[in-house]
């Protein structure tokens, strides 16, 4: 049986507001995370992602609900199981050097300096920060600071790692580098990771599973592949020979018609097979030759938007 690293059950959190309507930040939020899994927590701004992560860390007390780590319900002192990077590069001490930060966070976890000496060397090497080990954190680039923040979480050597927007504000190259580290972490060790991000590429690239939160509720909980499969069958790309501009007057508005040099490409979402056959009949009627029909791999960002859109309705 798969061991559960994290079980979140029925979290509810309401923030009372002075002379205003209370804000329901979490509404019966439940999800779990198997050992060695990377799960993405997605949602628009204000959806409740950070509140959920902070409830897991014990930084916010939920009104009701429970958080269990490896089968044990923990309300306080979660640090035995969890380390976190919560605000990217703001989690480190800017006056301390790279090495001093790593040493401090190891000490904060109650680890002896001698027991982490080699780990620090290894982390400095992994994150390519060896040359910057004596440089104060404030003098590092943003990417380096975020790598250091991740290093400070890793030096604590906990089985569960929570990453809130780990690639926020990074350039493409550093973001890719950080993504690869995250993937390596799971591949090489027995780390379990809960990651929240606005960057769909990061989530699609790194995560096994995705939980989407909107208005404090879980609106989807599936694997990245599972979510893609749901939408895959409905998205088509239809190539036609010739330029058929007049189709714009005949086809529904949500059909994307792209007229190219000698052919026309239609991107559309079809409700069912009947709609597809009606479309083929229409082409026959007008003597339009079909060049190709492809099921379109849905973009993860589109899936996310559709799910939120569905939730709004």
Partner 1 sequence: MKDLYVFLAVLKKYYIELKRYAFNTVMMMGGIYILFALIFLGMQSFNATPETLESTIVGFALWIFAILGFSELSWSILEEARNGTLEQLYISPVSFGRISGYRVLASFMVNLLLMSAFLMAMMVGTGHYLNLDPGVLLLVFLTLLSVYGIGYMMGGLALIFKKVQATLSIFQFLFIVLLMIPAALDSAIIYVLPVSWGSVLINDVMVRGTPFLELPLNSVMILLLNSLAYFAVGYLVFGYLEKIAKQKGLLGHY
Task: List interacting residues with partner 1 (CB under 8 A).
Answer: 13, 15, 25, 51, 54, 57-61, 76-80, 82-84, 86-87, 90-96, 100, 103-113, 136, 152
**Minimum CB distance to partner 1 smaller for 107 or for 226:** 107
Give the residue with the Cβ less far from partner 1, 86 or 218: 86
Min dist CB 23 to partner 1, Å, is: 10
Minimum CB distance to partner 1 smaller for 217 or for 296: 217
Measured from the CB atom, the residue of 138 and 278 that comes closer to partner 1 is 138
Tallying the residues shown for the chain, one arrives at 313
Give me the least distance between CB of 136 and partner 1, in Å please. 8
Nearest distance, CB of residue 123 and partner 1, angstroms: 16
Least distance (Å) between residue 298 CB and partner 1: 35
Residues 102 and 38: their CA atoms lie apart, in Å, by 24
**Cα four-point dihedral sign 98, 103, 107, 111:** positive
Distances (CA, A) of 239 to 168, 251, 262: 38, 15, 11
Question: What is the number of other CB atoms lying within 10 angstroms of the CB of residue 298?
Answer: 19
Shortest approach of partner 1 to residue 28 CB, angstroms? 18
Residue 93 C-beta: closest distance to partner 1, Å:
6
d(CA 302, CA 313): 16
DSSP 127-192: TT-GGGTTSBGGGS-HHHHHHHHHHHHHTT--SEEEEESTTTT--HHHHHHHHHHHHHHHHHS--E
* Minimum distance from residue 51 beta carbon to partner 1 (Å): 7
Separation between Cα atoms, residue 84 and residue 62, nearest integer Å: 18
- Per the DSSP assignment, residues forming a β-bridge with 196 are 41, 164
Taking every pair of C-alpha atoms in the chain, what is the biggest distance, in angstroms?
80
Q: Identify whether the C-beta of residue 42 lies closer than 8 Å to the C-beta of residue 219.
A: no
- Cβ proximity to partner 1: between 41 and 152 the closer is 152
Terminal CA-to-CA distance of the chain, rounded, Å? 38
| Residue 112 · residue 77 · CB < 8 Å | no
Q: Which is nearer to partner 1, 95 or 125 (CB)?
A: 95
Structure letter (DSSP) for residue 94:
T
Helix (H, G, I), strand (E, B) or coil at 226: helix
Minimum distance from residue 311 beta carbon to partner 1 (Å)? 23
Q: Which is nearer to partner 1, 113 or 310 (CB)?
A: 113
């Amino acid at each position: 049986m798969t061991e559960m690293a994290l079980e979140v059950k029925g979290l509810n959190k309401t923030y009372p507001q002075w002379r205003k309507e209370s804000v329901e930040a979490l509404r019966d939020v439940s999800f779990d995370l198997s050992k060695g899994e990377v799960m993405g927590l997605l949602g628009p701004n204000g959806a409740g992602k950070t509140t959920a992560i902070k409830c897991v860390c014990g930084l916010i007390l939920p009104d009701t609900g429970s958080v269990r780590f490896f089968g044990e319900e923990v309300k306080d002192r979660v640090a035995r199981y969890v380390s976190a990077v919560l605000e990217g590069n703001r989690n480190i001490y800017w006056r301390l050097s790279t090495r001093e930060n790593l040493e401090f966070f190891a000490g904060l976890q109650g680890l002896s300096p001698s027991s982490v000496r080699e780990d620090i060397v290894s982390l400095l090497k992994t994150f390519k920060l060896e040359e910057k080990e004596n440089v104060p954190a404030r003098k590092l680039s943003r990417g380096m600071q975020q790598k250091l923040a991740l290093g400070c979480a890793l030096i604590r050597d906990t089985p569960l790692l929570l990453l809130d927007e780990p690639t926020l504000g990074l350039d493409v190259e550093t973001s890719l580098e950080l993504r690869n580290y995250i993937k390596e972490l799971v591949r090489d060790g027995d780390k379990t990771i809960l990651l929240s991000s606005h960057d769909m590429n990061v989530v699609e690239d790194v995560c096994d599973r995705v939980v989407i939160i909107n208005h404090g509720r879980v609106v989807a909980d599936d694997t990245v592949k599972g979510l893609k499969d749901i939408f895959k069958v409905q998205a088509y790309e239809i190539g036609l020979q010739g330029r058929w501009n007049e189709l714009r007057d005949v086809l529904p508005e949500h059909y994307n018609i792209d007229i190219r040099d000698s052919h026309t490409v239609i991107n559309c979402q079809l409700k069912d097979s009947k709609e597809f056959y009606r479309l083929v009949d229409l082409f026959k009627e007008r003597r339009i030759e079909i060049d190709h029909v492809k099921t379109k791999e849905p973009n993860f960002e589109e899936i996310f938007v559709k799910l939120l859109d569905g939730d709004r309705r």
